Amino acid sequence: MNSVVIYATRYGNTRKIAEAIADELRQLGSSQLLAAEEAPAVLPEGTDFVVIGGPTEVHGMTKPLAAVFDRFAPEAFLGVVAAAFDTRLHGARWLTGSAGAGAEKKLQHAGARMIAPAESFFVRNEEGAEKSEGPKLEPGELERAAQWAATLAEKAQFELASAQR
């Protein structure tokens, strides 16, 4: 399975989650890890599975993450299985927003077959930390990201095998 993990990040938390996801996906094939600014306008040849995510800011996607979708042509993800994720503060999604939910909608609109609902990984503001340092991942989130990726990989393989029948 050939996968691509695309992420936007501000403080490095989303990059860490994306790295954990890509590392897990490499257990079943190749997995490219691309920062939003490096993401091409066309998916690499032979891409089977795409995971896209970014931090939640102002209840939605950051400009770098939104720009990824602006670069892709309509139906760029046609026939590709996909999933979306975000990093955000703990709280009800209606209260905090979700970049992952926005990415999920964009992927669906571009023709991707979503294999799971958007997943959120949580950050928290550290007391006494400088505001410029930003929030930090909550304990256990990297492990949870790896577990989520393993589950996604199984679902993606099933979807891809079903499509070939």
Tens of pLDDT, residues 109-126: 999 999 999 999 999 987
d(C-alpha 165, C-alpha 22), whole Å: 27
**CB-CB contact of 18 with 50 (8 Å):** no
The pLDDT confidence band at residue 19, using thresholds 50, 70 and 90, is very high
- On the question of pLDDT at 127 being above 80, the answer is no
d(C-alpha 32, C-alpha 1), whole Å: 11
Where is pLDDT greater, at 30 or 92? 30
**CB-CB contact of 24 with 146 (8 Å):** yes
- On the question of pLDDT at 129 being above 70, the answer is no
The pLDDT confidence band at residue 91, using thresholds 50, 70 and 90, is confident
Q: Label the pairing between strands 3-7 and 31-35.
A: parallel
Torsion of CA 100, 88, 137, 27, to 10 degrees: -10
- On the question of pLDDT at 2 being above 90, the answer is yes
The pLDDT confidence band at residue 132, using thresholds 50, 70 and 90, is low
- On the question of pLDDT at 131 being above 70, the answer is no
d(C-alpha 92, C-alpha 101), whole Å: 13
- On the question of pLDDT at 160 being above 90, the answer is no
**CB-CB contact of 98 with 120 (8 Å):** yes
Residue-range domain boundaries for the chain: 3-164
Residue 53, phi-psi category: left (phi > 0), alpha (psi -120 to 50), beta (remainder): beta
Domain 3-164: CATH superfamily is Flavodoxin domain (3.40.50.360)
User: Looking at the DSSP assignment, which residues form a beta bridge with residue 23?
Assistant: none
